[in-house]
């Protein structure tokens, strides 16, 4: 029996493929490109799109912001919330997930913003929970450096707890709109939370009405053991990075085990694995496309600048044609680093970059025609056990051609095989769509 799986898309919203022949030459920063992408993803019945975020201008690669700014890697970017509003208003069924850092937003403001967004989008809003992983970001918010990763997760656990309590501070039926008695909301159904924790203190209640989902969908990415436990405790959907099919299965099984141990139904936690399809009219066309990408003069520096920004490790210090001299660790994105460095493989740094092929977070290689890639995605999901894929873009550059290849080529091939939905049927909210299968 064919089992459907979920599809989501992560929107790295630095400039589009501004140097490529199918880019816009630098899309205007008016949100039109973003809303075009959202409408195409909705037409293909994706569950949701994530609007990604970072809170700094990288300086890790070569000790300077030059590489990041020269190639527009990680920077510049807009605030995700107004973009999420624009994308949500342009669509009617697609889930819209904005990245909000626990470093940058007080819990009350996150809860209030998320509740407002969920009401505006008719129950389609999601919160991508991040702790931020860069000391440069911390310095933009009055800190010298980030706390250690385990402390960040401890803080995030408490942060999510208080946000959940704020969502629950209004009963679902608190708004009564009794015109005869002149009562808009029943004050007995709205309560302060009086939260006093180790890191946060919030009186509450929220001053927004209950939204259609009452709380938005929670999305979270975490590759470390601590990150997996956090995701299993809190997330409706997990963004996962894994090495190959076996790694994907082990990751999903581990998250589901954590969820079961704390009393959650593991089927309520949808693990979506990041992949970067490379599509062509023939398999050779797709492989040639991939080869051209990794052989471009800017490719090596672009990828190293990107990895440096995510991990806060200066990869300019290492020889390109030699293996990394030691296993690298970071207080930043350790999962991205482990996927990239392939410690123990003996590969030279240049080969590690080429192996990434621009898809630094691709869990499995997907190169070929839409039918070939769709068939492979079905085989992988059957082996892993579920729940779906999070599509990313080659070299983290997005253009309309790539979106068309995915939405008008790959997705129809998946739909013909009964692997993904052809129409939204479960309901109008993001959490309902995630619960559909």
Question: What confidence tens digit (pLDDT) does each residue in 17-57 have?
Answer: 777 777 766 667 888 989 999 999 999 999 999 999 999 99
- Nearest CA-CA partner of 362 in 277, 299, 292: 277
Taking a C-beta distance cutoff of 8 angstroms, is the pair 264, 232 a contact?
yes
Rounded mean pLDDT of the chain?
A: 91
- Nearest CA-CA partner of 311 in 255, 360, 363, 247: 360
Is residue 399 very low, low, confident or very high in pLDDT (cuts 50, 70, 90)?
confident
Is residue 358 very low, low, confident or very high in pLDDT (cuts 50, 70, 90)?
very low
- The 3-state DSSP class for residue 287 equals helix
Fold (CATH) for 6-163+209-279+364-434: TIM Barrel (3.20.20)
Positive or negative: CA dihedral 279, 369, 434, 271: negative
- pTM tops 0.75, yes or no: yes
pLDDT at 343: 81
Strand 48-51 with 201-202, pairing: unpaired
Terminal-to-terminal C-alpha distance of the chain: 13
Contacts of 157 (CB under 8 A, 6+ apart): 230, 233, 234
* Lowest mean pLDDT, pick from 150-159, 203-212, 239-248, 345-354: 345-354
Positive or negative: CA dihedral 274, 363, 275, 383: negative
**Domain range list for the chain:** 6-163+209-279+364-434
Contacts of 296 (CB under 8 A, 6+ apart): none
Distance CA 85, CA 125 (A): 10
Strand 48-51 with 125-130, pairing: unpaired
pLDDT at 301: 80
pLDDT in tens, 254-311: 999 999 999 999 999 999 999 989 999 999 999 998 888 777 767 788 788 888 887 8
pLDDT at 353: 83
Distance CA 313, CA 319 (A): 14
């Amino acid at each position: 029996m064919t089992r459907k799986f979920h599809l989501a898309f992560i929107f790295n919203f630095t400039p589009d493929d501004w140097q490529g022949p199918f880019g816009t030459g630098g899309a205007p920063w008016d949100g039109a490109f973003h809303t075009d992408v959202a409408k195409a993803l909705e037409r293909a019945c994706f569950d949701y799109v994530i609007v990604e975020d970072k809170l700094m201008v990288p300086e890790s690669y070569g000790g300077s912001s030059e590489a990041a700014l020269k190639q527009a890697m990680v920077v510049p970017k807009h605030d995700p919330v107004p973009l999420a509003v624009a994308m949500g208003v342009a669509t009617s069924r697609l889930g819209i997930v904005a990245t909000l850092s626990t470093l940058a937003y007080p819990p009350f403001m996150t809860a209030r913003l998320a509740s407002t967004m969920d009401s505006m989008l008719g129950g389609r809003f999601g919160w991508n929970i991040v702790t931020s992983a860069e000391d440069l970001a911390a310095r933009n918010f009055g800190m010298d450096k980030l706390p250690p990763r385990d402390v960040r997760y401890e803080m995030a656990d408490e942060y999510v707890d208080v946000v959940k309590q704020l969502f629950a501070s209004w009963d679902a039926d608190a708004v009564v709109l009794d015109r005869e008695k002149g009562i808009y909301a029943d004050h007995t159904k709205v309560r302060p939370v009086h939260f006093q924790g180790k890191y946060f203190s919030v009186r509450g209640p929220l001053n927004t009405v209950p939204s259609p989902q009452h709380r938005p969908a929670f999305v979270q990415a975490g590759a470390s053991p601590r990150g997996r436990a956090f995701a299993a405790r809190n997330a409706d959907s997990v963004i996962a990075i894994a090495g190959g099919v076996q790694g994907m299965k082990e990751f999903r099984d581990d998250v589901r085990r954590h969820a079961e141990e704390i009393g959650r139904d593991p089927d309520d936690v949808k693990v979506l694995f990041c992949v970067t399809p490379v599509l062509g009219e023939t398999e050779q066309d797709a492989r040639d496309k991939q080869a051209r990408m990794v052989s471009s003069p800017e490719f090596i520096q672009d990828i190293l600048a990107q990895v440096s920004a995510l991990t806060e490790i200066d990869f300019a210090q290492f020889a390109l044609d030699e293996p990394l001299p030691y296993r690298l660790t970071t207080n930043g994105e350790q999962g991205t680093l482990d996927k990239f460095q392939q410690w123990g493989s003996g590969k030279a740094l240049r080969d590690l970059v080429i192996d990434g092929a621009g898809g630094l977070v691709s869990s499995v290689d997907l190169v070929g025609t839409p039918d070939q890639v769709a068939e492979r995605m079905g085989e992988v999901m059957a082996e892993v056990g579920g729940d779906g894929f999070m599509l990313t873009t080659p070299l983290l550059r997005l253009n309309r051609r790539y979106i068309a290849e995915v939405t008008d080529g790959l997705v129809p091939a998946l739909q013909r095989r009964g692997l993904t939905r052809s129409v939204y049927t479960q309901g109008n909210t993001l959490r309902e769509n995630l619960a559909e299968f």
